[in-house]
Structure 1
């Protein structure tokens, strides 16, 4: 008779706290039983000891929200332990579709006129102009092959790493996540092939040459690949 010698729960200390690796080949009930047993074996904790952060790694296992909460409760029963995150290699179909939607590139060929609003999930590639009074928004980046004279809001769900690029930039307003930039003065000239991004040092939106953004945001290469793969 073969015996599975692989541990059900492996506890490893790291500089960030504890990592609990759960065997993804055994039953969920077996995990609960061993987790309770292993966490119950300890000495007493001193009141002044800091909280220890715990990461639970599920491997190739999917757990429902209720099952994840059950794991959190078992860990919480142990003083000075708190679950910081639960990681899994498996996601639901709904989460996969949401991820795909938020990483897709939406190409549009049109002029966004005053009073019109264009909203997309993921990145927006607009071949055309955004006129004064027009607005474009995206959960990801915004790339405009044309004149940006209206409002552009990238990273609308809080992505502070999103960028806004335009062939000619003289916007009414630039927004990235919850950051807002002022409109240029009427007598200010617009700029060509520039990009707006959040300057983490100054915590505000800056308009910089496109080449600088490519250096600071190398993941834009994935945008190129998605466009080539269509």
Structure 2
């Protein structure tokens, strides 16, 4: 006989309302699928259709991102009488804060692969046609960008996309989409960057970045020794 898996979502009633315990050993997507099924189909004692009930979500040792919190809140909106009061994590803050600064990754994004990142990303490698690179911040590719790049995926219009060889199939910054010209200047070897200008995406040479995005310019002298 196969091993019976315990539920990833456990619900307990209290005087204050309902407690939802989410198993921190399961992938977040699996928890969301199980929770969605229970909210849509489990109507035992008609608790989903009763009076307004306060909900507290227990995450165990798990921390979640703001996007995951939004997904949970949207899911609970299926049942109008369930009102989320808060989230609790044994790790302290229930929110997983993204790392500050820029993070470097090395490799190749091949056709069919998707690289997702939180924050600014410095990617040393190539993004091949059919590959996708996404980030909530800016994207800097030290290599050839020949696939799809999407920066500022949560709505950051100040994000940029830069590459040593900028030949993308498509560029996206926030919700703005730009398709490149049919023929890129193959003789152009200088690093370029894309940015939002008005309601469209424009491309310029890298040395113009400080003029177009002066807030990103390094203005203080560097004194620290090595």
Q: TM-score, normalised by structure 2?
A: 0.51
Matched residue, 1:137: 134
Q: Does 1:214 align with 2:215?
A: no
CA contact (8 A) 1:120 1:139 kept: yes
Superposed displacement of residue 152, structure 1? 0.5
Residue number among 168, 171, 181 corresponding to 2:168 in the alignment: 171
Q: How does 1:167-206 map to 2 (within 5 A)?
A: 167-185=164-182, 187-190=183-186, 191=188, 192-200=190-198, 203-206=199-202
Cα distance, 1:150 vs. partner? 0.4
**Cα offset, 1:94, TM superposition:** 5.3
- Give 1:173 deviation, angstroms: 0.4
Aligned-pair CA distance for 1:167: 0.4
Partners of 2:185 and 2:203 lie apart in 1 by 13
C-alpha distance in 2, partners of 1:198/1:102? 24
Match of 1:128 among 118, 125, 128: 125
Corresponding pairs, count = 128
Structure 2 residue 151 is the aligned partner of structure 1 residue 150:
no
Q: What's the offset of the Cα at 1:218?
A: 2.8
In the aligned structure 1, how far is the partner of 2:174 from the partner of 2:194? 12
Structure 1 ranges of 4+ moved more than 3 A? 92-95
Secondary structure of the corresponding residue to residue 219 of structure 1: helix
| Distance in 2 of aligned mates of 1:102 and 1:140 | 11
Q: 1:74-104 deviations in whole A, cap 9, x for unaligned?
A: xxxxxxxxxxxxxxxxxx9556x52xx1634
Compare the two structures and name the one with the higher helix fraction: 1
The 5 A counterparts of 1:29-108 are 93=93, 98=97, 101=98, 103-108=100-105
TM value normalised by structure 1: 0.51
Cα deviation digits, residues 111-150 of structure 1 (max 9, x gap): 1111111000000100011010001000000000000000
Gaps of 5+ in 2: 1-91
On the 8 A contact 1:109/1:128 being kept in 2, the answer is: yes
Indicate how the Cα distance of structure 1 residues 212 and 94 shifts in structure 2: closer, same or farther if over 3 A, else same: farther
Aligned to 1:112: 109
Could you say which structure has the larger radius of gyration?
Answer: 1
**What is the distance in 2 between the residues matched to 1:188 and 1:215?**
24
Tell me the CA shift for residue 106 of structure 1: 2.1
SS in 1 for 2:126: coil
